[in-house]
Amino acid sequence: MSQFIYDDHDHFMREKCCHPSKIKELVKKMETFANESLEESDRFVLYGMLGNLYRIGNEPKKAIEYLEKCLHYARDHEDDMKEIVSLIRLGEAMKYNQDKQNALKLFEHALQKCRKKNISSYEDYALQHMGKCLLEMNRNQEALACFKKALKIRESKGNSDLIESTKKAITFTEGLL
């Protein structure tokens, strides 16, 4: 799927798809699979994937439905990592649904949970997505601060793709200032 998904720099670096029919085709297959008997943990993964695909496919309401199920699963199972991931994904879907205030609250909640539970593996993701949301709200200085914090974390992780993504966000934001 990564070959069909790109960051749209004309729309605040939102993830978009250059072949929407491919997304619809994949969603249809996955929804059929979701109706089969699955382990709960497999259903969590599948719903997360469906939520992301619906978001990228410009159907944020359906994305929210699936991602709320993921969040409920994570909370029911007291799985902090899955809850953080679900909060970030749900925040993105809310942002795509033009509910930026609630998206920002979800990103902040994910960030607080990362810090409270000492789960640093997703802190950079929460910061990156929070920054992108702030950017769409024309809060560019705050967005830049989030991106810079995310970059510092990502540099310590050493993942070149994530580092490059954050550097692009910083360059984009600095161009707006």
Amino acid at 50: L
Q: What is the pTM of this model?
A: 0.91
Mean pLDDT of 56-79: 96
| pLDDT tier for residue 1 given thresholds of 50, 70 and 90 | low
Q: What are the structural domains of the chain?
A: 5-176 (1.25.40.10)
pLDDT at 156: 96
Residue 66 in this model has a pLDDT that exceeds 80: yes
Do 129 and 137 touch, CB atoms closer than 8 A? no
pLDDT in tens, 38-52: 788 898 999 999 999
CA 81 to chain centre: 14
Alpha helices (runs of H) in the chain, residue ranges in sequence order = 20-34, 40-56, 60-76, 80-96, 100-116, 123-136, 140-157, 160-176
Question: Looking at residue 109, what is its pLDDT?
Answer: 98
Half-sphere exposure of 84 (CA within 13 A, CB side): 20
Residue 104 is predicted with a pLDDT of: 98
